[in-house]
């Protein structure tokens, strides 16, 4: 005997089982799956596109805009889904053009609730109005608030565009890693580098240390009294001075009457390779800044490997075409190739390869 719905008289089938004695249509008419008593409020920061949910601001980080809008919609709607029967919910953006949130007045979404076992589906379209409110961080920056400063300075002259770009890319990555908006930091160009004012003292400290290690910089911390809190505690403001040492990767220097090349930077320490003996030593940026050494960079020249006879290479200077014998090379050379070398004690020393993790040359 087949059961029929007491409300509409429809018979129960295998594909459409009944719910609590009624057909799904009649049951869910009375007990809908999607019940949003109040449309959720979307608060968005017009400066950094952060949105507010469950008591905190979620920053954009590296998420592309369409995903960011989608995440916001899910974060706002998920806690409001409270179906009468266990169901799965899907949310779809009606317009997923990826417009930044701060330029959007409303977000239209399609919500689908499904109970697969009952072959039942419910749909609803919803519009979330967007209110623009400055997030906590942007409000602080707007007020000129900052807790710490990082100063980046070169040894001489200006930062090269390559140096500037590498540092900027590194800082952007750190902000994304910590889900902090760009407005956390305020950059000011200076003659020999730049200053960064930071509204989070903690982030600033870790950023300064990471920059020092990653780029092989000298770090000096100083603090200044910045006032008192209401309960009498002193407030200090840290300045992290980061300086490039006078020499950098690929520089050739004379140190202790020997020719050295800076051949590496690992974990914040420079590797110096003795070009005569091949011996290596490690120096911190501070030690590198303090050694008594002269640059030999202007003595680096190009030589062409022109022939090989009885295990002796003949190298021709590209400057004055003098030919040098180069016996017993530690690595085989290709005849016809070019090598860089300096002249030392009337013979040539070849420059070794540079070993670095990910940092390309600072030089242009
Ligand atoms: Zn029915
Ligand atoms: Zn903001």
> Mean pLDDT by 10-residue block, N- to C-terminus, for the chain (364 residues)?
86 88 92 84 87 87 73 90 89 82 85 91 91 86 85 85 90 90 88 90 94 95 80 83 93 95 93 93 95 94 91 91 83 88 89 65 40
Alpha helices in 52-127 (DSSP H): 65-77
Tokens encoding 61: 């980080």
Q: Residue 126: CB partners within 8 Å, gap ≥ 6?
A: 36, 39, 77, 108, 109, 111
- How many angstroms from the chain centroid is the CA of residue 279? 36
Q: Residue 298: CB partners within 8 Å, gap ≥ 6?
A: none
Separation of CA 290 and ligand 2 centre (Å): 43
- Among 70, 44, 74, 79, CA closest to 58: 44
CA gap 352, 239 in Å, rounded:
38
pLDDT at 356: 61
pLDDT at 63: 60
Domain 38-135 coded CATH 2.60.40: yes
Separation of CA 136 and ligand 2 centre (Å): 7
Counting ligands in written order, which one lies closest to the CA of residue 45? 2
pLDDT at 112: 95
pLDDT at 305: 93
Counting ligands in written order, which one lies closest to the CA of residue 142? 2
pLDDT at 1: 63
CA gap 172, 152 in Å, rounded:
16
Which top CATH class is 252-356?
mainly beta
Sheet containing strand 301-309, strands side by side: 323-327, 312-317, 301-309, 338-344, 347-350
Residues 151, 217 contacting (CB under 8 angstroms): no
For β-strands 185-190 and 193-198, DSSP reports them as antiparallel
CA gap 333, 349 in Å, rounded:
13
Separation of CA 15 and ligand 1 centre (Å): 15
Tokens encoding 90: 């899907």
Domain boundaries, the chain: 1-31, 38-135, 146-243, 252-356
Residue reference for tokens 């040894």: 155
Q: Residue 221: CB partners within 8 Å, gap ≥ 6?
A: 208, 238, 239, 240, 241
Separation of CA 208 and ligand 2 centre (Å): 23
pLDDT at 152: 95
For β-strands 42-44 and 120-132, DSSP reports them as parallel
Separation of CA 44 and ligand 2 centre (Å): 8
DSSP 255: E
């Amino acid at each position: 005997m087949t059961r029929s719905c007491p409300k509409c008289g429809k018979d129960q089938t295998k594909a459409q089982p009944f719910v609590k004695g009624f057909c799904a249509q009649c049951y869910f008419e009375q007990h809908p799956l999607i019940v949003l008593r109040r449309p959720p409020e979307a608060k968005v920061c017009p400066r950094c596109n952060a949105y507010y949910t469950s008591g905190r601001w979620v920053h954009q980080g590296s998420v592309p805009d369409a995903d960011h809008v989608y995440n916001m919609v899910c974060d706002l709607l998920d806690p409001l889904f409270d179906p009468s029967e266990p169901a799965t919910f899907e949310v779809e953006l009606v317009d997923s053009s990826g417009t930044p949130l701060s330029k959007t007045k409303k977000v239209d979404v399609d919500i689908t609730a499904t109970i697969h076992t009952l072959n039942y589906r419910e749909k609803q379209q919803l519009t979330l109005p967007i209110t623009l409110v400055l997030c906590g961080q942007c409000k602080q920056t707007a007020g000129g608030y900052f807790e710490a400063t990082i100063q980046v300075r070169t040894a001489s002259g200006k930062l090269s565009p390559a140096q500037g770009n590498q540092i900027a890319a590194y800082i952007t990555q750190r902000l994304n890693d910590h889900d902090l908006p760009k407005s956390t930091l305020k950059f000011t160009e200076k003659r020999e580098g730049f200053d960064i004012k930071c509204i989070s003292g903690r982030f600033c400290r870790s950023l300064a240390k990471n920059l020092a290690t990653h780029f092989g910089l000298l770090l000096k911390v100083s603090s200044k009294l910045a006032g008192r809190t209401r309960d009498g505690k002193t407030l200090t403001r840290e300045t992290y001075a980061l300086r490039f040492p006078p020499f950098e990767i690929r520089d050739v220097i004379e140190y202790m009457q020997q020719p050295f090349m800076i051949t590496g930077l690992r974990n914040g320490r420079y590797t110096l390779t003795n070009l005569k003996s091949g011996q290596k030593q490690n120096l911190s940026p501070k030690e590198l800044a303090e050694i008594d050494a002269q640059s030999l960079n202007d003595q680096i020249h190009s030589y062409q490997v022109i022939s090989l006879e009885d295990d002796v290479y003949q190298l021709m200077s590209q400057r004055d075409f003098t030919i040098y014998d180069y016996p017993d090379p530690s690595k085989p050379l290709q005849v016809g190739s070019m090598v860089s070398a300096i002249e030392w004690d009337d013979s040539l020393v070849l420059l070794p390869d540079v070993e670095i993790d990910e940092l390309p040359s600072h030089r242009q």
